[in-house]
A and B are shown apart, each in its own frame.
Chain A
Amino acid sequence: MIAELGAFALMLALALSGLQTALSVLAKVRRSASLRGGGEGAAAGAFLAVAVAFSALIYAFVTSDFSVANVAANSHTDKPLLYKVAGAWGSHEGSMLLWCLALTGFGAAVALAGRTLPAGLKALALASQGTLGLLFIGYTAFASNPFQRIADPPVEGRSLNPILQDPFLAIHPPFLYAGYVGFSVVFSFAVAALIEGRIDAAWARWVRPWTLAAWSLLTVGIVLGSFWAYYELGWGGWWFWDPVENASFMPWLVGAALLHSAIVTEKRGALAGWTVFLALAAFTFSMLGAFLVRSGVLTSVHAFAVDPTRGVLLLIILGVAAGAGFALFGWRAPKLPPGGLFAPVSREGALVLNNLFLAAAAATVALGTLYPLIRQAMTGEAISVGAPYFALTFGPLMVACLLLVPAGPLLAWKRGDVHAVVQRLWLAAALALACGALAWMVVHPRRLWAPMGLALGAWLILGALSEVAARVRLGAAPVAESLRRLKGLPRGSWGMTLAHLGLGVFVLGAVFEGSWKVEQVSVLAPGRSLQVGAYTLTLKDVRDVAGPNYEAERGLIAVRSRGGAVSEIAPERRFYPASRQTTSQVAIQRHGISDLYVVLGERRAAAGGGDGWLVRAYWNPWARLIFAGPLLMALGGLVSLSDRRLRLAVGARAARPVLAAGAAE
């Protein structure tokens, strides 16, 4: 009964999305406020209807209603409650419903929060959002219905893949999808602005908060997934350049470029065409990601629900939505008024460079991800493109981009002064180089490139701090004056500082972990030890334990540090009878920002005879910074979002002339 209610609510949502589009278009044509209100109401209604459908699906999962095909295929009565709930979006059908929930949710947010938006722009944006809703809800309802009943319900379900039964992964898809789909709002704003033929500072100001929100959520989603891979997959990797990861990384890169170009459009009225292009591209990459991940056209090491036949439909939706958007762009963009002029060395110039690098990087990632597909379609040969390709292409582009990051914010708008920038940054540069030199001398084994990477990380951090120092005139003004200025810094400025600091923190972690990670593998009989980094691990015992829906071997391992401190860790090897699958539960002992990472492998004959266990141990120095950095970046996005100047309701004030906004900066 509840499942039928869900299916009905989904159909209702489809109808309401159609109504939202129709009423909004009519409202625009007739300039009617009541029609516009109707369109907004329909947007809110569509969201409510999808929310009801989604709740119904969760209910079916929680009550283990195996007469629903999707529940039978992805759930099991002995699963803990959290994973029953998470099972609702663990499958193909459920995840598309989550996508629709986010899509209509953002539509409703525009309808309700955007009170100060110009009526025409808002109506057109809602019409575009409604059309996207029609496409995706229609797809979900007709081609991937999560409420499909089966005539002959099984007594027990097939369970969720045990490797996915993890708290971080349970909340990973909602963040990721909110981020992906958040770009749909930006896409709709771009479509609306192109139809109106007006892209100005005010438009950019309305677009920026949505971009910030989507990008921050996407960042959190990617970090959750990466952290999950780090501790769940059992080899300590956190990024594999796997197609599925790239699918989320491409919209992230384009979103980051959009964040920066929208600033130029907002403050200086320049780059309008490019900003609109990026706005269209960000959601196109999101849809491409959904298609790549959900259609199974790519080989990935990651688990996800796929269905090749329905992939074609997703590809058609992608083609229709993106094709319409870019066709509109090709038609209307040449008529956009040209923006303000700026000298090559200026804040605008730096942001243009940033965009060039980010866009080029996104393009290389896209090529590496799509090339195997194209190649296979054309020649029938299967190839895979792995980390070496990305290290060689993405690497240099990103390093060049990162080198410029500290300089950008110190340049003035319109015409920058290189001399002044050098004056403010020489100390940071010297200190960063000193950090690199110190690392080269102190850290063993000695490496050539890694200290340079650390210097780059230090440069980003010190550069971000130098920018704050310059803003508060540290040293140039009395301390009290500097403190007063520090308090007065706008949140947008703090957001940028946090995000750039996060970038530096990430680089430090990635370089240090990547270069000085230590791995030891050995078959240990109880009582035997292995040495990893500064720690001696002794396998004391292996015991059988029982979990809620698994049986496990638990290894008790004593950790002795060089100083003599002893502690104990207990990695597990779990067997899930429902799916006949084995997983490793890694034991991670955190030491400050570094991790001691131990995996209990399979039972093997030990060297001296008798039973032993394969034990893999890693020392992952500074690994925590890899995850802390991007979280700082997401926090920066949220702090920026809370800036009064960007708050959604204050959009009206943005109608002020561009130059006034520029001068306030």
Chain B
Amino acid sequence: MSLLPKSKKARRRLLAVAVAAPIVAAAAGLSLYAMGDAAVFFYSPSDAQQKSVPPGKVVRIGGLVQPGSVKKLPDGRVEFAIADKAAVSPVSYQGDLPDLFREGQGVVAQGAFDRAGVFEAKEVLAKHDENYMPKEVADALKKSGEWNRAQ
């Protein structure tokens, strides 16, 4: 009892802190924990090759859909390749492609590489802004000096 402040007001203030602290701490703790788990890294095909992304790790890769690479199989599976200037990543995807998916256009795929180095996409995103170019793709292409062709 002697540890508690004497005035009623100070005691209430202490109580308010005692209630607020766990909520704030829980929010911060959960955020840090979830951030470590849920943050998905983005690679261009050449990045992915250089840094050798381990198979099974969920990442995003982005670049241009290589012209002539799109194969639609009767079982609904689609195979295509995402390319930048230096490297090509083969992609396999089960499902319907976004309406804006086109050969030669920017695309982002989320999924993981299998042991053979084929990217098993769970999600394919084609951003629908005026330039049809996802921002990460534009940045990655700028880095590899391919931006002008992409334009």
State the A residues within 8 Å of B (CB).
Answer: 73, 158, 161, 163, 234, 296, 298-306, 341, 344, 352-353, 356-357, 360-361, 363-364, 367-368, 371-372, 375, 381-386, 388-389, 392-393, 396-397, 400, 521-523, 581-584, 599, 601-602, 604-607, 614, 616
Tell which of B12, B27, B134 touches A397, judged by Cβ atoms closer than 8 Å: B27
Q: In the bound complex, do residue B96 and residue A521 qualify as a contact, i.e. CB atoms below 8 Å apart?
A: yes
Q: In the bound complex, do residue A392 and residue B38 qualify as a contact, i.e. CB atoms below 8 Å apart?
A: yes
Tell which of A305, A372, A400, A607 touches B74, judged by Cβ atoms closer than 8 Å: A607
Q: In the bound complex, do residue B26 and residue A396 qualify as a contact, i.e. CB atoms below 8 Å apart?
A: yes
Tell which of B31, B42, B96 touches A616, judged by Cβ atoms closer than 8 Å: B96
Tell which of A363, A388, A584 touches B27, judged by Cβ atoms closer than 8 Å: A363
- Closest chain B residue to A583 by CB distance? B99
Q: How far is the CA of A601 from the CA of B27 in the complex (A)?
A: 42
Q: How far is the CA of A9 from the CA of B130 in the complex (A)?
A: 29
Query: Given the complex, which residues of B lie within 8 Å of A614, measured CB to CB?
Result: 76, 96
Give the contact-size bracket for chain B: 35 or more
Q: In the bound complex, do residue B26 and residue A397 qualify as a contact, i.e. CB atoms below 8 Å apart?
A: yes
Tell which of B38, B41, B127, B135 touches A389, judged by Cβ atoms closer than 8 Å: B38
Q: How far is the CA of A386 from the CA of B128 in the complex (A)?
A: 19
Q: In the bound complex, do residue B72 and residue A604 qualify as a contact, i.e. CB atoms below 8 Å apart?
A: yes
Query: Given the complex, which residues of A lie within 8 Å of B139, measured CB to CB?
Result: 382
With most chain B CB atoms within 10 A of its CB, the pick from A163, A299, A357 is A299
With most chain B CB atoms within 10 A of its CB, the pick from A73, A381, A522 is A381
The 5 A-B pairs at the shortest CB distance, nearest first, are namely A389-B38, A382-B42, A392-B34, A360-B27, A388-B38
- Interchain pairs with CB closer than 8 A, number: 133
Q: In the bound complex, do residue A582 and residue B99 qualify as a contact, i.e. CB atoms below 8 Å apart?
A: yes
B3 on interface, CB distance cutoff 8 Å? no
Tell which of A364, A400, A522 touches B31, judged by Cβ atoms closer than 8 Å: A364
Query: Given the complex, which residues of B lie within 8 Å of A584, measured CB to CB?
Result: 99
Q: In the bound complex, do residue A356 and residue B23 qualify as a contact, i.e. CB atoms below 8 Å apart?
A: yes
Q: In the bound complex, do residue B35 and residue A389 qualify as a contact, i.e. CB atoms below 8 Å apart?
A: yes
Query: Given the complex, which residues of B lie within 8 Å of A599, measured CB to CB?
Result: 96
Tell which of B23, B30, B75, B127 touches A300, judged by Cβ atoms closer than 8 Å: B127
Query: Given the complex, which residues of B lie within 8 Å of A602, measured CB to CB?
Result: 96-97
Query: Given the complex, which residues of B lie within 8 Å of A364, measured CB to CB?
Result: 27, 30-31
Q: How far is the CA of A601 from the CA of B95 in the complex (A)?
A: 10
Which residues of chain B from 19 to 64 have a CB within 8 Å of any chain A CB? 19-20, 23-24, 26-27, 30-31, 33-35, 37-42, 60
- Measured between C-beta atoms, what is the minimum distance from A572 to chain B in Å? 12
- Closest chain B residue to A376 by CB distance? B139
A385 and B27 in contact, given A341-B8, A614-B76 (Cβ under 8 angstroms): no
- Closest chain B residue to A371 by CB distance? B35
Q: How far is the CA of A234 from the CA of B97 in the complex (A)?
A: 11
- Closest chain A residue to B16 by CB distance? A352
Q: In the bound complex, do residue B41 and residue A381 qualify as a contact, i.e. CB atoms below 8 Å apart?
A: yes
Q: In the bound complex, do residue B74 and residue A383 qualify as a contact, i.e. CB atoms below 8 Å apart?
A: no
B100 on interface, CB distance cutoff 8 Å? yes
Q: List 24 A-B contacts (CB under 8 A).
A: A73-B130, A158-B130, A161-B128, A161-B130, A296-B135, A299-B108, A299-B135, A299-B136, A300-B127, A301-B125, A301-B128, A367-B35, A375-B39, A382-B42, A382-B139, A383-B40, A386-B40, A388-B34, A389-B38, A396-B30, A522-B76, A523-B76, A583-B99, A605-B74
- Closest chain B residue to A392 by CB distance? B34
B15 on interface, CB distance cutoff 8 Å? yes
Q: In the bound complex, do residue B134 and residue A299 qualify as a contact, i.e. CB atoms below 8 Å apart?
A: yes
Q: In the bound complex, do residue A344 and residue B12 qualify as a contact, i.e. CB atoms below 8 Å apart?
A: yes
Which residues of chain B from 115 to 151 have a CB within 8 Å of any chain A CB? 125, 127-130, 134-136, 139-140
A393 and B40 in contact, given A602-B97, A606-B74 (Cβ under 8 angstroms): no
Q: How far is the CA of A360 from the CA of B20 in the complex (A)?
A: 10
B9 on interface, CB distance cutoff 8 Å? yes
Q: In the bound complex, do residue B12 and residue A341 qualify as a contact, i.e. CB atoms below 8 Å apart?
A: yes
- Measured between C-beta atoms, what is the minimum distance from A148 to chain B in Å? 17
Q: In the bound complex, do residue A303 and residue B128 qualify as a contact, i.e. CB atoms below 8 Å apart?
A: yes
Q: In the bound complex, do residue B31 and residue A393 qualify as a contact, i.e. CB atoms below 8 Å apart?
A: yes
Q: In the bound complex, do residue A341 and residue B76 qualify as a contact, i.e. CB atoms below 8 Å apart?
A: no
Query: Given the complex, which residues of A lie within 8 Å of B23, measured CB to CB?
Result: 353, 356-357, 360, 397, 400
Q: How far is the CA of A344 from the CA of B13 in the complex (A)?
A: 10
Q: How far is the CA of A386 from the CA of B123 in the complex (A)?
A: 12
Q: In the bound complex, do residue B97 and residue A382 qualify as a contact, i.e. CB atoms below 8 Å apart?
A: no
- Measured between C-beta atoms, what is the minimum distance from A77 to chain B in Å? 19
Query: Given the complex, which residues of B lie within 8 Å of A352, measured CB to CB?
Result: 16, 19
Query: Given the complex, which residues of A lie within 8 Å of B125, measured CB to CB?
Result: 301
Q: In the bound complex, do residue B74 and residue A523 qualify as a contact, i.e. CB atoms below 8 Å apart?
A: yes
Query: Given the complex, which residues of A lie within 8 Å of B9, measured CB to CB?
Result: 341
Q: In the bound complex, do residue B134 and residue A388 qualify as a contact, i.e. CB atoms below 8 Å apart?
A: no
Query: Given the complex, which residues of A lie within 8 Å of B75, measured CB to CB?
Result: 607
Q: In the bound complex, do residue A388 and residue B130 qualify as a contact, i.e. CB atoms below 8 Å apart?
A: no
Q: How far is the CA of A157 from the CA of B100 in the complex (A)?
A: 20
With most chain A CB atoms within 10 A of its CB, the pick from B9, B12, B31, B134 is B31
Query: Given the complex, which residues of A lie within 8 Å of B130, measured CB to CB?
Result: 73, 158, 161, 305
Q: In the bound complex, do residue A382 and residue B15 qualify as a contact, i.e. CB atoms below 8 Å apart?
A: no
